[in-house]
Structure 1
């Protein structure tokens, strides 16, 4: 019998033992779940990870973990090209799934996972966790209330520098493990999700340019995945936007920022400064600081510490896992990113790559209708 049915803490299994497994396991524990099992590429690596992360047990293979009836939810934290296979196997075993993004490295695989999760009736989510910063929810509420007026322009960027040097290397740069897109699939997907989540408007069409500045790195050669992407977008509502994504921006560690301009005011959020929103007016501008007593209800719900006690990335991740587990228990949390959102990101990523390759605008709605 599953622990969720018995009223005990939800038991989580993790496939993968790297940085993201650490983040997931901390979030599970903080969300009152039980980090129960872990599998990695080797039995020895899984055993070391279980000891390091305080997980109850390790498994020799991912297949053994997925088959364990004591596990309620599988967290897929492996290299990108393996996500779809593990998520599909977990769904087939009747497990709930939290799958790292990209959900899949192709649109057909992503759409297949959406269908499989729906048929199986399991909860299946993707950690677009920047949705869970309280001030992101506050921005979303203000846009929905019409405070910005008609949306005119969107300026967004996601900048990092961890691959700035030619000898910086990682499995993500290789298409066989990371997939055909790197910078955009990895972090540009977060940027597009945040833009669409905050505005409530969908990107209708786009044109993109990609650059691979380093075709070879310390252990990787013939690299085809991109270091940076520039995208121009138009939304269904008629807003025009520019998006810049780079993993070679000196000094930028994890700067995800959006600024939305409307006919009444502008609003800006910077993930590296997540305790505030910038509001721009024709006359005068202001900062709105996180204070649960003054925020919209959804933002206040996520404001779990008093004002002046900063909340950050791990707190947002914990809120995402807590809402995923609430959904497993039968709840319907607002704004929870599900496999449908992962498939949306896959479609946008594919459109970006096609636009860059073919040198033309791509209409996402025409592509979806095919």
Structure 2
């Protein structure tokens, strides 16, 4: 077994052996980022023999007969399986001494996610969660704008993450079933990105929230639907700033409309994921668009700006940068802003709070 422990030097990048658990779109996305980072993708195990064969063909790597067999050959593993399997598979990898990249949600409950974060903190393994929108250069520029005091005292926040891939009654996939996807669907899937990005840019936490959720279609195919299609939140930040967040997977025409706006007493800023090359900066006397040009960026934003201005960067570049930072951490470097299992557990805590508030109608405290 090729394991990392306190007695072993971290392998050079080209020697890092990486496996993928799961198939489908996210497995392909992870595989692309693994290869772009220069590591060896040695194999895949999906949920069953047929799906493993399909994933093997899609990724161009051997299929393994079990998760255990794959783990025995790896230094690190990427978990892209259905949500309900994340906690068990990530824990198994950590127990085997491997570094782990685990898709969000880290687990289907805050309790399980917290246990995983604790397990990761007690090991020397690197354990990260792909909150990859942190890796757009203009997100890092927005964060630097806040850190440098240019925003001023935070007054209000506004965010939305809108999609339409579950818009019609005929739209369905495994996430609809709580046994596979967990008790939350839209918020666990994309709301987790929204709250992570908000707290990352703002540099402070949501301390309480009030939420309501809705289900667009009570039945999809032969499956009764118990998980939300949309969630609307009122939030209060640690500084006292207030705001609104909207998450939906049933907004017609919206494909991946993730937007964050922070307004302070000196300026405001807005980032739109569908226009990742730009950052809007607002002031009472003038508003402007800052485009991605390395000479105008903070050091961390410039670090992630890997092609010249005018050559668009996007989602796959952000994903590759996240994986590269994970592997840098495996080499005992300390890249700034790497989302860890603690961040994954935080998102699960907020997801549980959304469900609790929607059920009770109460404000829920969320400052851990």
TM class, shorter-chain normalised? over 0.9
CA deviations 1:159-203 (Å, max 9, x no partner) are 000000011011111111100000001000100000000010100
- Alpha carbons of 1:41 and 1:337: their partners in 2 closer, same or farther (altered >3 Å)? same
| Distance across 2 between alignment mates of 1:234 and 1:81 | 30
Task: Establish whether residue 62 from structure 1 lines up as the match of residue 64 from structure 2.
Answer: no
How far the C-alpha of 1:6 sits from its partner, in A, is: 4.8
**Match of 1:76?**
79
Q: Distance in 1 between matches of 2:306 and 2:222?
A: 44
Structure 1 residue runs without a partner (length 5+):
none
**TM-score, normalising length: structure 1:** 0.96
The one of 222, 225, 228 aligned to 1:226: 228
User: Structure 2: 5+ residue runs without aligned partners?
Assistant: 4-8
- Among 244, 247, 266, the alignment partner of 2:246 is 244
**Aligned-partner Cα distance in 1 for 2:229–2:213:** 8
Q: May I ask how many residue pairs the two structures share in their alignment?
A: 362
Query: Which of residues 35, 48, 53 is equivalent to 1:42?
Result: 48
Structure 2 counterpart of 1:32: 38
Deviates more, 1:41-50 or 1:125-134: 41-50
SS at match of 1:112: helix
For 2:298 and 2:111, the matched residues in 1 are separated by 38
Q: What do the CA deviations read for 1:215-234 (whole angstroms, capped 9, x no partner)?
A: 1012422x110000000000
Tell me how far 1:132 sits from its aligned partner. Answer: 0.1
**In the TM superposition, what is the alpha-carbon distance from 1:292 to its structure 2 partner?**
0.9
SS at match of 1:243: strand
TM-score, normalised with respect to structure 2: 0.96
Superposition deviation, residue 5 in structure 1 = 4.2
Counterpart in the other structure of 1:271: 273
Taking the TM superposition and a 5 Å limit, the aligned residue runs for 1:173-252 are 173-221=176-224, 223-252=225-254
- What per-residue deviation string (whole Å, max 9, x for no partner) do you get for residues 132-180 of structure 1? 0000000000011110111100010000000000110111111111000
Which of 118, 122, 132 is matched with 1:119 structurally?
A: 122
Q: Does the Cα contact within 8 Å between 1:43 and 1:61 map onto a contact in 2?
A: no
Once residues 166 and 50 of structure 1 are traced to their aligned partners in structure 2, the CA distance between those partners, rounded to angstroms, is 32
